[in-house]
Amino acid sequence: MMQKKFGGSLPVFVVFKGDLQSPDVLQLMIKTQQFLKEDPNVSVAQSVADLIEQMNDAMGEGKKIPDDKAKIEQLWFLLEGQEVMPQLVNDDLTKGVIQSKFASVDSKNIEAFTEKMNRFIEENRNENCQIELTGMPSVYVKLNNSLINSQYNSLLIAIVLVILIVGSILKSVSKGIYTAIPIIATIVVLFGFMGITGIPLDIATVLVASIALGIGIDYSIHVITGFNHYLKENGDAEKAIEYVILSSGKAIVINVISVSAGFLVLLFSQIVPLQNFGLLIAISMIGSGFGALTLLPAILILANRKRKITANNH
């Protein structure tokens, strides 16, 4: 509703550097504005070039930029007292701006838009007129790129650290890797879900994977330490799994339910990214709990059966 009423939410600016009273620069501004407005997400765009066109129309010469610089200078004279002028041009008339708004907050639309605009600018800039796109969409594109990069890096580092730390506590690298498998599966499911439902990776949802990793790893650690304990007691892997699931398993299920329910409260939030955040955390809790109670026991039995077989052979 806000977007319909106010024509968009992200301010977009196209800055022109050159002699703003020259017909070429003003015509280029008009051309840029028309190109902007072709995008379905852009509804408003204004600049000093609009005002010059309107004044030219008022002087009876049609709604266009006059070809004669002298005419522009005199139309400019009429505009000088206007309150809006300082927002559109600088004092010495070497910089002007097109003010516009972009209606979509979808990072894909934003990226396509900035790419398209930058291509247009590249084609149209010349030595008399430099053009630059600024405003929120360009910032968003930069922000998104760094979000995705940092997501890759932080996830990779977190997984390696989890394997190392759990491995060193359990004094076995392979056990560290076993522990990490359910949580890696959960993250795969999480990103898959985001992809299918079209939930964008933004400032809020970018946190989910790391949080899921942090909380979800607990379940695996509970299972694997319990398993080790019972395995040492009676030496039977399948029995040990049974014990673990009956004791730690119950606690894990209760924990999954309470943590998920807690985060699902965010579904009632007014802010969409927070709704997504709550939903995704709940999904990854259920995923990692489920993984710890099904995937991890299967891996543990497989790993220990091998050991049993080799033990029997000797």
Strand order in the sheet with 10-18: 42-46, 95-102, 10-18, 129-135
Which residue from 1, 2, 70, 196 is in contact with another protein, where contact means CB under 8 A?
Answer: 70
Which residue from 2, 40, 83, 232 is in contact with another protein, where contact means CB under 8 A?
Answer: 83
Does residue 65 touch another protein according to CB under 8 A? no
Which residue from 61, 67, 115, 238 is in contact with another protein, where contact means CB under 8 A?
Answer: 61
The footprint of another protein on residues 85-104 (CB under 8 A) is 91
Which residue from 54, 74, 153, 197 is in contact with another protein, where contact means CB under 8 A?
Answer: 74
Count, residues near another protein per rule CB under 8 A? 18
CB of 77 to another protein, least distance (A): 6
Answer whether 66's CB lies under 8 Å from 56's CB: yes
Spatial separation of the C-alpha atoms in residues 98 and 103, rounded to whole Å: 16
Long-range (24+ apart) CB contacts under 8 A made by 77-85 are 79/48, 79/51, 79/52, 79/55, 82/51, 84/51, 85/48
- Tell me the CA distances in angstroms from 312 to 114, 228, 229, 299, 307, one per residue in order: 66, 20, 22, 20, 8
Which residue from 14, 75, 223, 245 is in contact with another protein, where contact means CB under 8 A?
Answer: 75
Answer whether 163's CB lies under 8 Å from 180's CB: yes
Convert residues 20-59 into a mask of x (bound to another protein by CB under 8 A) and - (unbound): --------------------------------------xx
Residue 55 or residue 194: which is nearer to another protein going by CB?
55
Which residue from 67, 73, 115, 238 is in contact with another protein, where contact means CB under 8 A?
Answer: 73
Determine the 3-state secondary structure of 99 from DSSP.
strand
Q: Please compute, for residue 198, the number of CA atoms within 13 A of its CA located in the half-sphere on the CB side.
A: 4
The footprint of another protein on residues 224-263 (CB under 8 A) is none
Q: Which two tokens stand for residue 24?
A: 């070429």
Does residue 77 touch another protein according to CB under 8 A? yes
User: Site residues (CB under 8 A) for another protein?
Assistant: 58-61, 66, 68, 70-71, 73-75, 77-78, 80-83, 91
